Structure 1
Amino acid sequence: MESLIYLRLRHRVEVKPDSTIKLSDIAQIIAPEKILLSLKQMPVYQVSKADKTSVVIDIMKVIHLITEKFGAMDIQTVGPSQTIIEIIYKNRKLSIPFFLLIWILLFIGSALAIMNFHEDVSMRLVHQKIYKMITGFDESKPLILQIPYSLGLGLGMIIYFNHIFKKRFNEEPSPLEVEIFNYQQDVDNYVVMNENKESIKRLDDH
């Protein structure tokens, strides 16, 4: 038990360019007190410009580095077998004209999509029929139905996405957040599958 080490790699870690990645940055560690501090401070990888935006560190390389430094150890791994290192570069400030242009494009695109949908399902005709069923009169523009419907449509979208600006209504993830999470999972799987061999080669070179 004195030489038993437990490692749990983190799934994704964000670092700055040219950072020296230590074992404690990418993993949770349980180990004997006499080597715990040395394990946490052990360099695992040096980020360089050649890495571009991401690099994958495999658990086998971590085990190799530990045994190389501390000799034969009983290492138990838990969780993912790779850690994705995402290199975060300084973001450029978004200009206000560019932001307004994107906002206008999204607004117009969304408005056209909603209008085309309502035209396809003949929503105006539906409102006219509902108005006639309730009042018994024909009305070409039943605003008493159309205005609340329009307001309810916007309110429904706010509730559906669980956000109004930065405020959340509850802790449940919105459908958009779930889709973004699934997309990120697919991206991570792609990175692991396609960059793992290159990352191990770069680690060996270092």
Structure 2
Amino acid sequence: MSNEYLYIKVDKNSMAKNKVVYLEDIAKLYSTDTDKINILKKQVVLTIKDNKPIKCVFSILKIIEIIHSIYPDVQVINLGESDFIIQYQPKKERQILKYLKIVMVSLIIFFGSAFAIMTFNEDASVEEVFKKIYELIMGSEKEGGTILEISYSIGIPIGIIVFYNHFSKVKLSNDPTPLKVQMRVYEEELDKTLIANASREDKIIDVD
């Protein structure tokens, strides 16, 4: 048995930039024999024919099969995923469409958030609460706006900025924002579901 080892690590989800996907595009390889590594990196894993977005689910066994077809004696040690996804996006959308989407989403979030805050204030009778607090502290009925309403109005955006840890390009700390955390959780669950569905439908690209 050969004592030569090849270590391979593949991420759960890889984005292909070209229609011809090489091993180096989706995997990290390590071996003491750098010549073999350079040859293996240029091995074709997938050739995409259609000019449309696709997601292919692969088994690591297929990659090991490709490696052994060239170097049958090398011992492959997998340090990454056992099943993984290769995605392909034909081309970027036009910038005008991208900016239109940003504007539309921003408007929806802005008006949706404003509506949610207004309905909360109405349901919780915030105005009446402020009125009672003012009367208890000042001993008289309030007339017009007070420091309570002003503080409340300023506190809401400050609280949002602190919670999301992000304002324009400025970050309050190096920690990921709650939105980024939830996006990563969503992506992980989506990848697991795609792999599970492909396995159930026998669509994983695997060894024969």
Q: TM-score, normalised on structure 1?
A: 0.86
Describe how 1:1-206 pairs up with structure 2 within 5 A: 2-18=3-19, 20-33=20-33, 34-49=35-50, 52-89=53-90, 90-95=92-97, 99-139=102-142, 141-196=144-199, 197-200=202-205
Given that residues 128 and 141 in structure 1 are in contact (C-alpha distance below 8 angstroms), is that contact kept between their aligned partners in structure 2?
no
- 1:51 and 1:99 map into 2 onto residues whose CA distance is 23
Structure 1 position 2, deviation (Å): 4.5
**How far apart are 1:152 and its partner, in Å?**
0.9
Closer/same/farther in 2, CA of residues 170 and 104 from structure 1, 3 Å limit: same
Deviations along 1:13-44, one digit per CA (max 9) or x if unpaired, are 212352x2221221111124142211122221
> Partners of 2:51 and 2:100 in 1: how far apart?
34
Amino acid at match of 2:31: A
- Paired residue secondary structure (2:203): helix
Name the Cα RMSD after superposition.
2.3
Q: Secondary structure at the match of 1:28?
A: strand
Query: Residue 25 and residue 153 in structure 1: after superposition, are their counterparts in 2 closer, same or farther (change >3 A)?
Result: same
More helix by share: 1
- Secondary structure of the 2:194 match is helix
Change in Cα spacing, 1:98 to 1:191, as seen in structure 2 (3 Å) is closer
Q: Deviations over 1:56-109 (max 9, x none)?
A: 221010111111222232111112112321212322323466654443333221
Which stretches in structure 2 are left out of the alignment for 5+ residues?
A: none
Encode CA deviations 1:93-138: one digit per residue, 9 max, x unaligned: 2346665444333322111111101111111111111111221111
Distance 1:185 1:101, change over 3 A: closer
1:75 counterpart letter in structure 2: V
Give, as a single letter, the amino acid of the residue that structure 2 aligns with 1:200.
I
Aligned length: 202
Normalized against structure 2, the TM-score is what?
Answer: 0.86
What is the CA distance between 1:166 and its match in structure 2? Answer: 2.5
Of 24-33 and 43-52, deviating more is 43-52
Q: For residues 94 and 51 of structure 1, do their structure 2 counterparts lie closer, same or farther at Cα, with a shift above 3 Å needed?
A: closer
Cα drift, residue 185 of structure 1: 0.8
Q: How far apart, in 1, do the equivalents of 2:178 and 2:4 lie?
A: 46
Letter of the aligned partner of 2:65 in structure 1?
Answer: H
| Identical residues among aligned pairs (%) | 28
Question: Is the deviation greater in 46-55 or in 5-14?
Answer: 46-55
